[in-house]
Chains A and B, each alone.
Chain A
């Protein structure tokens, strides 16, 4: 059977052409517009490495449990490398998701009619943070125990709403086991359909194009198009580069593991993407974590409400961009503040 026969066979059964044979704006092939696709490649890497790690991980607290199983993994060069891939893959995913969020914001891609797509993206962002947080806790080193204690204390500050995130919700099951279930089952199970909606809307609404208003008419700023298949190839190319970068970093810098977790002390700092919480907690206490998190999410969700013109309104856009850079500056400022502040002051 020749290649074309295979294609015809698949096309006649799967309506292959309906998915791939359509046009997308030419600018969609720049790296800026392929971050989402790159994230999917890394997501697949996370899935594969995660399933492998699952075979060696023991989600039980205490002696001979989670921490010891991670130590055992680290004693094997192969499994240790897989763990490093999983760790660095997650770090790069968080970074790319933040970049993707900024790109969508800068290019007005969140505006009407893409509000649902924007919301689905925010849900995916929250799920990714949930996955990285629960992944941090699973290793049960000192950083993990402190993260779990922060989770419990934060949840307790929101009363019955936070009960789900504490040990009281299911006293017969360890919180670690429930976080493990969330990491490998619950969060991926929510993420997949939401990702499906996100991608379906990309297909139905198309990749966004800057819209200009000239003489009362709305006109697209870009008219050149390329086949969607070339966009897919470009995304696969960038995805492959992201995977190669992950492999290189994993070879050079193995995933860290701290000392076995001890409850009741605070001597570590959170990962870089959560480090902004550290100085805020210093200043306002642990109850500020859920409050500030909800406010940040609400601000991001509300973006389509704040900028509702279908075309590029330069004045509004300038304000939105200034606000965005203000938020980025605060975010980075707090992260750096968290990095340099003495740990002793947080006890």
Chain B
């Protein structure tokens, strides 16, 4: 208290320090994790060729989203694009490859044609008038279609890679729009044949909509930081020299 009375400007700094120390306490408990309500699938842009091996670094660094689908299948969804082609990698746990069963495993990506009024679209998965459906069935895995680029079953897990040109061709219904959020654009479903799951049991109405964004190039490695940092360091060091020189001048004068 004596210190405060002695010099008023001490009071200001003491209050400042007290406020600073207490600030973290003031906000303690207010912080809450923000959870996204919407389900986004982001297709990261890759400049150049895309490695179609699911274990490649490009796919390792892609955005991953968990899609909770029918029969509680938790599907990992990744997507990449290079402006020309767009690829989707679906991965999900399946303890059996199902070579010995009549009904084989499979997966479908269902693209909604209309972005508005998606709630009103109650269509069966087989109705492709409003949808474009990319399907894979393990019984045809030796003869991959244009859309199915790679399938593997390793460590009790399926990896299925779909791909297509970004540009719409005659047979395609949907278009991919770069940098635009395509709301409710995608639904995904997989089925396990050995568990008795069949494509006929799928009611598209009960599948979750996922928004989709085909990302353009985004600079996630800003190099200007290095330039500004170097300039700041050079500036700070040169100021030290200027300041020392000012002191040194006086010594000379004396």
Contact = CB atoms under 8 A, between A and B. Distances in A.
Contacts of A98: 232
B8 interface: no
A302 B30 contact: no
Contacts of A161: 26
Interface string A196-228: 000000000000001010000001011100000
Contacts of A328: 232-233, 236
A269 B222 contact: yes
Contacts of A332: 229, 232-233
B239 A305 contact: no
A271 to B, nearest CB: 8
Interface in A1-49: 27, 30, 32
A230 interface: no
A302 B213 CA distance: 47
B247 interface: yes
Range for the number of chain A residues in contact with chain B: 35 or more
A192 interface: no
Given A267-B215, A335-B229, A287 B30 contact: yes
Interface stretch (B35-43, B67-75, B123-131, B164-172): B35-43
Interface stretch (A54-62, A131-139, A338-346): A338-346
Nearest to A290: B27
B247 A260 contact: no
A148 B215 CA distance: 20
Given A95-B228, A328-B236, A262 B213 contact: yes
Interface string A308-347: 0000100000000100110010001001101110111001
A158 B225 contact: no
Given A99-B235, A106-B239, A336 B61 contact: no
A115 B242 contact: no
Contacts of A77: none
A328 B235 CA distance: 11
Contacts of A290: 23, 27
Given A158-B27, A269-B222, A272-B224, A324 B247 contact: no
Given A272-B225, A332-B229, A159 B30 contact: yes
Interface string A268-287: 11001101000000000111
Interface stretch (A167-175, A179-187, A234-242, A291-299): A291-299
A273 B227 CA distance: 12
Interface residues of B, number: 58
B225 A286 contact: no
A49 to B, nearest CB: 20
Contacts of B26: 158-159, 161
A259 B229 contact: no
Contact of B61 (A269, A285, A344): A344
A222 B232 contact: no
Contacts of A30: 242
Nearest to B37: A264
B229 A158 contact: no
A344 B218 CA distance: 13
A157 interface: yes
Given A265-B40, A328-B233, A328-B236, A210 B31 contact: no
Nearest to B65: A347
A325 B236 contact: yes
Contacts of A264: 36-38, 40
Nearest to A336: B225
Contact of B239 (A103, A142, A335): A103
Contact of B247 (A95, A103, A142, A210): A210
Given A107-B239, A153-B34, A265 B23 contact: no
Contacts of B34: 153, 286
Nearest to A270: B222
Given A115-B9, A302-B13, A339-B222, A265 B42 contact: yes
Nearest to A107: B243
B61 to A, nearest CB: 6
Nearest 10 CB-CB pairings of A with B: A259-B179, A287-B31, A298-B20, A221-B250, A106-B239, A332-B229, A305-B13, A339-B225, A343-B220, A99-B235
Given A210-B250, A332-B232, 5 more contacts: A156-B32, A210-B243, A285-B31, A294-B20, A298-B20
